[in-house]
Structure 1
């Protein structure tokens, strides 16, 4: 996992490379639909877990940032700052 993060995180600003901050955002914004923590037991059936998202071979910091930067038909309309997106991306990638 450390090797993956070493490759994936250099593109992120140093302040955003903080998975605990991303975890806090995930709990606040995403937990109602996604399983965002390993010990979480409930979420909707329609949303993939963050661990499943992280495990996809095409998931990268860039792809996650791009996805979180656009509106989604199945997700609530929320706006994250670039620092918040970076922290959330760091958290998701830390689940690999």
Structure 2
């Protein structure tokens, strides 16, 4: 029997507060960390952290993954995981 590659997911513990700070710093969307007194408006990012069930409710199709017994792996599995979403809050033209 040949084992299929990619059959296991690997998750790492994440400090979401720190991830948000790094995201804002590296993307150049906020200069509040620099103490800059520039007259240019500070660009902001909208960030949100959702647990897996909330993310799947919002962006998945949980009605299509429910089993006959009522178990829904899309919502019931991975209760200790989260999704980090980050988007600019203005038009980026």
TM-score of the superposed pair, with normalisation by structure 2: 0.24
Q: Which has the higher helix share?
A: 1
Q: Which has the higher strand share?
A: 2
Report the structure number with the largest CA radius of gyration.
Answer: 2
